[in-house]
Amino acid sequence: MTKKRIYELAKELKITSKELMELMEEMGINVNSHMATIENEEAETIKELISGEIKDKGKKEKQSTNGTHKKKEEEKVIEVEDTIVVKDLADKIGITPAELITKLINLGIMANQNQSIDFDTASIIGEELGFKIIRSKSLEIKDEFNLDYEDDPEDLKPRPPVVTVMGHVDHGKTSLLDAIRETNVTEQEAGGITQHIGASVVNIKGKKIVFLDTPGHEAFTSMRARGAQVTDIAVLVVAADDGVMPQTVEAINHAKAANVPIIVAINKIDKPDASIDRIRQELVEYGLVPEEWGGDTVNVPVSALKKEGIDDLLEMILLVAEMQELKANPNRKAMGTVIEAQLDKGKGPVATVLVQKGTLKVGDVVVCGSTSGRIRAMFDDKGKNIKKAGPSIPVMILGLSEVPLSGDILYAVEDEKTARIYAERKKELEREEQLKITQKVSLDDLFEKI
């Protein structure tokens, strides 16, 4: 091998890619990605220069921390991630591991110097010794996987809105989605078998709206927890004969937390005991003041059962979407989010991906969470074989080597080798993460045992 990737060199130097890139920038060498390659010879030179620098810096930092130790009392802050190895914490505090282990025993915790203790335990010990333990802000390793980048505003083109239907159980989420799909089925499609891929595209007045099938807020939040935000608009279904219920409130809170506009579908208006006004009244209590009453919450009375008000609802979605000016660059390597995935006996791993940026094509090499592959075939929400899919379009893909997780991000990359490096690194990190969790000696566990 004559070339080396930045990330490999960083690993050899035991620093993060980001730190390496910053140091290289100081040396006047600009690289824009940790996947960039440099000549081996150049790498050696950089290595020599930088290892010298790191040592110097280390020395300086040590001197200065020693200094602070004695002189300045107020600067005793230690950054800790979710867990920290006993030995490392002792080091940071400036005591021996044995001393720290004794302190831990006093707290009822048995841990050797190579074991990890959790953040809370570290804080208790730290505070006792006059240190302030704070959680470190960024896990730099995660940044390594951010293959995403901002597009030039000039390259952005309008894209369809992606809608999630939320609401209390039995208020009619599934029925509403079915009604939307049925009223929208064109004649030639009606005969075909619609394969469920977890999302559907609806055409209205020559415009598209994408609905995610995963109803309720669970899928919504679990995806958000993984850092994926796929929803542009939340349709909150409230049954007109039942009103705002606990899961309605949860849904409102989740949509608000995600900063997603809410359109209320007041459902079941066909029922004799339905009261639209009562629902509007209740919504006000949760800050959703209807437009009719001078607020800005769009609400549409519908009956999923009688298929009434469906077109009004779709039009309102388009209107709200228009105000959002949703855009993406279709002309770049694709980036998307897995909305569901499973192992198919015949086809192997299949995943439904919502393309968010760029255009995904058959033949593209992709990395998807900790798996990778080459797209062998793609199907749209109607089960039709397609060759490419642009922003906001959900597609079922074949060709991944393993089943990804919902919420995993997919990136189209240059070549298979790159895809594999990313996938393997991600897998390695997931393993480390898992190990940390199992090794973690938590205060709670111990108190339980005592």
Q: Name the residues that contact Mg ion, by CB under 5 A.
A: 173-174
Contacts of 204 (CB under 8 A, 6+ apart): 184, 311, 314, 315, 318
In Å, how far are 15, 145, 146, 276, 370 from 140, measured between CA atoms? 10, 10, 11, 50, 18
- From the list Mg ion, ligand GDP, none, pick the one residue 303 interacts with, judged by a Cβ distance below 5 to 8 Å according to partner type: ligand GDP
Q: Are strands 207-212 and 199-204 parallel, antiparallel or unpaired?
A: antiparallel
Residue 138: DSSP 8-state: -
Site residues for ligand GDP, 292-321, by CB under 6 A, read: 303-305
The residue among 130 and 246 lying less far from ligand GDP, judged by its C-beta, is 246
Is residue 369 near ligand GDP by the rule CB under 6 A?
no
The residue among 167 and 404 lying less far from ligand GDP, judged by its C-beta, is 167
Minimum CB separation from ligand GDP for residue 10, in Å?
49
Residue 291: DSSP 8-state: G
67 is in an annotated binding site: no
Q: How many helices (H) and strands (E) does the chain have?
A: 15, 23
- From the list Mg ion, ligand GDP, none, pick the one residue 336 interacts with, judged by a Cβ distance below 5 to 8 Å according to partner type: none
Minimum CB separation from ligand GDP for residue 172, in Å?
3
174 is in an annotated binding site: yes
The residue among 166 and 362 lying less far from Mg ion, judged by its C-beta, is 166
Minimum CB separation from Mg ion for residue 377, in Å?
30
Is residue 4 near ligand GDP by the rule CB under 6 A?
no
445 is in an annotated binding site: no
Q: CB of 78 within 8 A of CB of 126?
A: yes
Q: CB of 367 within 8 A of CB of 376?
A: no
Minimum CB separation from ligand GDP for residue 340, in Å?
17
Q: CB of 243 within 8 A of CB of 279?
A: yes
Is residue 159 near ligand GDP by the rule CB under 6 A?
no
DSSP element (H, E) containing 310: helix 310-324
The pair phi, psi for residue 32, each rounded to 5°, is -100, -10
Helix axes 119-128, 97-106, angle to 10 degrees: 100
327 is in an annotated binding site: no
170 is in an annotated binding site: yes
Within 153-297, residue ranges assigned H as helices are 173-182, 187-191, 217-225, 246-257, 276-285
Minimum CB separation from ligand GDP for residue 280, in Å?
17
The residue among 175 and 184 lying less far from ligand GDP, judged by its C-beta, is 175
213 is in an annotated binding site: yes
Is residue 268 near ligand GDP by the rule CB under 6 A?
yes
Is residue 270 near ligand GDP by the rule CB under 6 A?
yes
The residue among 10 and 177 lying less far from ligand GDP, judged by its C-beta, is 177
Q: How far apart are CA 293 and CA 281, in angstroms?
A: 10
Is residue 175 near ligand GDP by the rule CB under 6 A?
yes
Q: Which of 16, 51, 68, 174 binds ligand GDP (CB under 6 A)?
A: 174
Q: Which of 5, 103, 171, 254 binds ligand GDP (CB under 6 A)?
A: 171
Binding residues for ligand GDP, rule CB under 6 A, total: 16
The residue among 261 and 301 lying less far from ligand GDP, judged by its C-beta, is 301
382 is in an annotated binding site: no
In Å, how far are 339, 350, 353, 408 from 345, measured between CA atoms? 20, 10, 19, 22
The residue among 109 and 304 lying less far from ligand GDP, judged by its C-beta, is 304
Site residues for ligand GDP, 186-225, by CB under 6 A, read: 215
Is residue 169 near ligand GDP by the rule CB under 6 A?
yes
Indicate the SS3 state at residue 36.
coil
Is residue 172 near ligand GDP by the rule CB under 6 A?
yes
The residue among 47 and 271 lying less far from ligand GDP, judged by its C-beta, is 271
Indicate the SS3 state at residue 386.
strand
- From the list ligand GDP, Mg ion, none, pick the one residue 395 interacts with, judged by a Cβ distance below 5 to 8 Å according to partner type: none
- From the list ligand GDP, Mg ion, none, pick the one residue 68 interacts with, judged by a Cβ distance below 5 to 8 Å according to partner type: none
Contacts of 289 (CB under 8 A, 6+ apart): 283, 295, 296, 297
The residue among 307 and 361 lying less far from ligand GDP, judged by its C-beta, is 307
Indicate the SS3 state at residue 322.
helix
In Å, how far are 196, 332, 354, 355, 372 from 359, measured between CA atoms? 22, 7, 11, 7, 17
Maximum C-alpha span of the chain: 81
Contacts of 146 (CB under 8 A, 6+ apart): none
Q: Which residues of 303-341 are buried (b: 16+ CB within 10 A; e: fewer)?
A: bbeebebbbebbebbbebbeeeebebbbebbbbbbbbbb
415 is in an annotated binding site: no
Where do contacts with ligand GDP occur on this chain (CB under 6 A)? 167, 169-175, 215, 267-268, 270-271, 303-305
Binding residues: 167-174, 213-217, 267-270
